[in-house]
Amino acid sequence: MLKKFNQLWHPQMLDLSFAPFTTTIGGHQLQIMRADDDHLIDLLNLESEVYSGSTPWSSFSFKRELRKHRNSLYLVAYEGPSLAGFVGARYNIGEGHITNIAVKPRLQNCGIGAFLLNLMIDRARLNDCCQVTLEVRVDNRRAQRLYRRIGFVPNFVRKDYYVTDHVDALDMVLKLDQKKKEAAD
């Protein structure tokens, strides 16, 4: 889902503050915190691990996201000193967009991916977004299963989206129930 979420984002008063916390998921104690430049090496290493040695997101792309505090939120989950997973999203008026997510291979399938994704969805609700979107490679069935389970539905296909191998991207959307939010307020 990497790449070019480079549409025009309007600076605005978004609540993207984040207080670190500790939680246990699938028996793993994780420290969840906002990512910054100090996590860059770990982010690149984890990315290389999940994508068999390649890093779809360059150091430059990560840095750019990590520094956009006004409309971008990037979270890391550490198990002790080891990065277990990360998730990134951008927010704008009415919409959140998941820009990246990965979980360390040996920690996959125990709920960490869903947990991180839900943190970003909660943040979208908090900022009055009516939907969350993402792109996923059409051949990444595993990630698509996770997204569907959480409630994302296919929206449309972006042909030839990934520059390195010309694979199409499936654009998926999760509509947020504004009524539920209003009732909770």
Ligand X SMILES: CC(C)(COP(=O)(O)OP(=O)(O)OC[C@H]1O[C@@H](n2cnc3c(N)ncnc32)[C@H](O)[C@@H]1OP(=O)(O)O)[C@@H](O)C(=O)NCCC(=O)NCCS
Positions touching ligand X (CB under 6 A) are 1, 26, 50, 101-103, 108-114, 136, 140, 142-143, 145-146, 149
Closest-approach residue to ligand X (CB): 113
Nearer CB in complex with ligand X: 136/176: 136
Q: Using only the alpha carbons of the chain, give its radius of gyration.
A: 16
Nearer CB in complex with ligand X: 108/131: 108
CB of 114 to ligand X, least distance (A): 3
CB of 108 to ligand X, least distance (A): 3
Residues 74, 171: Cα–Cα separation, whole Å? 20
Tell me, letter by letter, the H, E, C secondary structure of the chain: CCCCCCCCCCCCCCCCCCCCEEEEECCEEEEEEECCHHHHHHHHHHHHHHCCCCCCCCHHHHHHHHHCCCCEEEEEEEECCEEEEEEEEEEECCEEEEEEEEECHHHCCCCHHHHHHHHHHHHHHHCCCCEEEEEEECCCHHHHHHHHHHCCEEEEEECCCCCCCCCCEEEEEEECCHHHHHHHC
Residue type at 121 in one-letter notation: I
CB of 137 to ligand X, least distance (A): 7
CB of 183 to ligand X, least distance (A): 27
CB of 165 to ligand X, least distance (A): 14
CB of 71 to ligand X, least distance (A): 20
Structural tokens at position 152? 């994302």
Nearer CB in complex with ligand X: 12/45: 45
